[in-house]
């Protein structure tokens, strides 16, 4: 039972970190940048040299955004993982119990619904 509580707490920590690091916003900006780059490539009224220059700049921005998103994702995943590991290290539950709880279908569905609700409130 304690493993379920730690998993719920880990989800909460993950969602708070996602919100604080503005990870979803970063991903949305990167997707928008991709759309802008595609629009530039398709534009018939822009010279090829200007298109190439714009695409190079967009590529650099998206590359930087990728590294930023990767670092923020690592931070968002490491805190809940550390929390779950701490529960195992403290002897509250075993790794087998945590894995069994985390892979239970009903619990996965409940966590998914809770995460969606939390994302909705974060907006």
Pick from 103, 96, 98, 105: nearest CA to 5: 98
Q: Dump pLDDT digits (tens) for 10-34.
A: 999 998 998 899 998 999 999 999 9
CA–CA gap between residue 116 and residue 6 (Å, rounded):
19
pLDDT tens column, 58-91:
999 999 999 999 999 999 999 999 999 999 999 9
Task: Reduce the DSSP state of residue 2 to 3 states and report it.
Answer: helix
The domain tally of the chain equals 1
The 10s digit of each residue's pLDDT in 99-119 is 999 899 999 998 889 888 887
Angle at the Cα of 33 from the Cα atoms of 20 and 19, rounded to 5 degrees: 10
| pLDDT at residue number 122 | 63
pLDDT of 24: 87
Enclosing domain of residue 14: 2-122
């Amino acid at each position: 039972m304690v493993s379920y509580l730690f998993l719920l707490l880990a989800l909460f920590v993950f969602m708070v970190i996602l919100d604080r690091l503005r990870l979803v916003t970063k991903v949305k900006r990167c997707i928008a940048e991709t759309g802008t780059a595609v629009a530039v490539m398709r534009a018939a009224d822009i010279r090829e040299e200007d298109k190439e220059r714009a695409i190079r700049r967009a590529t650099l921005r998206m590359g930087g955004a990728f590294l930023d998103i990767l670092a923020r994702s690592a931070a968002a995943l490491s805190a809940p993982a550390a929390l779950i590991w701490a529960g195992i290290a403290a002897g509250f539950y075993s790794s087998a119990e945590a894995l069994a709880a985390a892979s239970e279908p009903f619990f996965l569905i409940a966590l998914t619904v809770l995460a969606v609700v939390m994302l909705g409130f974060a907006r």
